[in-house]
Structure 1
């Protein structure tokens, strides 16, 4: 140890000579107060507002469809056989979303949340019940037109088609979702060349 280091150590020890360690009784305990109901409601409202802000689905419907029209779409790259099986209702339905009971904005948010969550969970096919909307105001088939428009905007949806009669006919639609990353990895492993 050099002379400078010894001096520094002595200075430190002399500066700390009057310091006493804290005992167990000298600790300060802090308790977090329960959040009030108003704080809880404010937080919930902010979370809902954030979810709505993340929802990019348009509120404006540009193309109206009639209540009896059949809906259908498939992205490029979806095989004809896959689309035919979807059309015929041959895929197992992993989830059902009923949009009949909610308001327009609630339906929009429910569809967005459901498809996002289901695709992340690995759901491949879901049934969306939108109704035919023959009596809807101001325009017949308004929610059906909205669902058609929204499904076209969602990148997770690779194909959709109006359902078979026993699943709701033209008042429901099958939606085929993209595979999740986990499903893709599993598929690669399953079909890997040995």
Structure 2
């Protein structure tokens, strides 16, 4: 069914649209906006925490004695040196009173800061409390590829309420 427009109707239409210009395209794209450098650096620890730290992964950790763990590729003397206090922590993180999600983000930020600042040894103070963070932090640390090992801290660095963590800095010079 086609309609036939009369010649007078076409002239009327021409009179109505006379002087109308086409709209200009303002070129607005409604895709995902690009993030600024500040936003990316702010989100880096959260992405690292989500990438490295799983709550379901269960590494083989000791059930007796002080909390300790060493990566397979790390030197055998790593744990002994940490236990004796040969390493002095350059950065200290205190997670007393934090929730698990907050502590996980802070732990990821600590490891990233240690790598950026060339700090080989850091201390994580989890405290006693209900024992949730004391149980979870070693599980998270054992998953991170840059952690060479950790050991319960000596008395001067917090005792059994803290861990000394040794970070792998790669081929860069180490400090002890």
TM-score, normalisation: structure 1: 0.59
Select the residue among 92, 97, 119 that pairs with 1:96. 92
Equivalent residues of 2:153, 2:160 under 8 A apart: yes
In the TM superposition, what whole-angstrom CA distance separates every residue of 1:49-74 from its partner, at most 9, and x where no partner exists? 664234221244757x9xx9621011
Q: Which runs of 4+ in 1 moved over 3 A?
A: 43-51, 59-63
Unaligned runs of 5+ in 2: 1-36
**Alpha-carbon spacing, 1:98–1:61, altered in 2? closer, same or farther (3 Å):** farther
More helix by share: 1
* 1:121-160 map, 5 Å: 121-133=117-129, 136=130, 141-160=131-150
Distance 2:118 2:76 in 1: 22
Other-structure match for 1:21: none
Residues matched between the structures, number: 136
Q: Once superposed, what is the RMSD of the aligned Cα atoms?
A: 3.2
Instruction: Give the TM-score, by structure 2 length.
Output: 0.64
Show structure 1 runs of 5+ residues with no match.
1-42, 188-194
Whether the 8 Å contact between 2:96 and 2:125 is mirrored in structure 1 is: yes
Give 1:155-194 correspondences, 5 Å limit: 155-181=145-171, 183=172, 186=173
